[in-house]
Chain A
């Protein structure tokens, strides 16, 4: 079974700092990749997704993620974070529509004004 690793459990940044959150997965075949975000007091929502094509994916609120197949990675980036980006971020990997999606354990991001 596939596994998803998010190595950073808690990240603290100052506003305007650059962000990179790591995500690695264990499956070697074709994958569908996602990042979800949960803002304080809100439900989980999709940030961005990758199915195929350009490995650099742009999502909402200036976030992007790069799929590097050789590294089994799908890291999330943002050039300049804002206080409103304080949230928990989850990476998720699926092996195709009829198989379940597996989530990482999440990374809590705290942005200090």
Chain B
């Protein structure tokens, strides 16, 4: 069945450029997360969307990072004026929402390399 889809799978860009990463969650999943995974840093939470509620942006590392989720489905993570330290794998996950936290389904990630 269709899982969480992320695109592109790999992105190489020059320092200072803007990048957009896309996430298509599983249909019907109202919760969507973005994480960053880099060597030695584990899994770093970036932002959380839940339905029509205001997103939890507490994990965004700087104002160069932003994300939106249009129509409660597809999400894009934008990094402006990229820096070399932004190089990482960016993961998206989605889940159903009920009274209990439901398991997250992860995409394969976008590997971002800043030259």
What residues of chain B have their CB less than 8 Å away from a CB belonging to chain A? 31, 33, 35, 41-43, 45, 48, 50, 53, 56, 58, 91, 93, 97-104, 106-109
Q: Is A8 an interface residue (CB 8 A)?
A: no
Quick check: A43 and B107 within 8 Å, CB to CB?
yes
**In the complex, how many residues of chain A place their beta carbon closer than 8 angstroms to a beta carbon of chain B?**
24
Query: Cα distance A32–B104 when bound, in Å?
Result: 12
Of A15-23, A66-74, A76-84, A90-98, the one with at least 4 CB within 8 A of chain B: A90-98
> Please, what's the 1-or-0 string for A32-63, where 1 marks a CB less than 8 Å from any CB in chain B?
10101000000111100101000000000000
Instruction: List B contacts of A103 (CB < 8 A).
Output: 35, 42-43, 45
Quick check: B101 and A32 within 8 Å, CB to CB?
yes
Quick check: A104 and B42 within 8 Å, CB to CB?
yes
Quick check: A51 and B43 within 8 Å, CB to CB?
no
Contact A101/B101 with A44-B106, A90-B43 known, Cβ cut-off 8 Å: yes
Query: Cα distance A97–B104 when bound, in Å?
Result: 12
Query: Cα distance A1–B43 when bound, in Å?
Result: 17
Quick check: B106 and A45 within 8 Å, CB to CB?
yes
CB of B49, distance to nearest CB on chain A (Å): 10
Quick check: B100 and A97 within 8 Å, CB to CB?
yes
Quick check: A32 and B42 within 8 Å, CB to CB?
no
Closest to B43 in A: A103
Instruction: List B contacts of A90 (CB < 8 A).
Output: 42-43
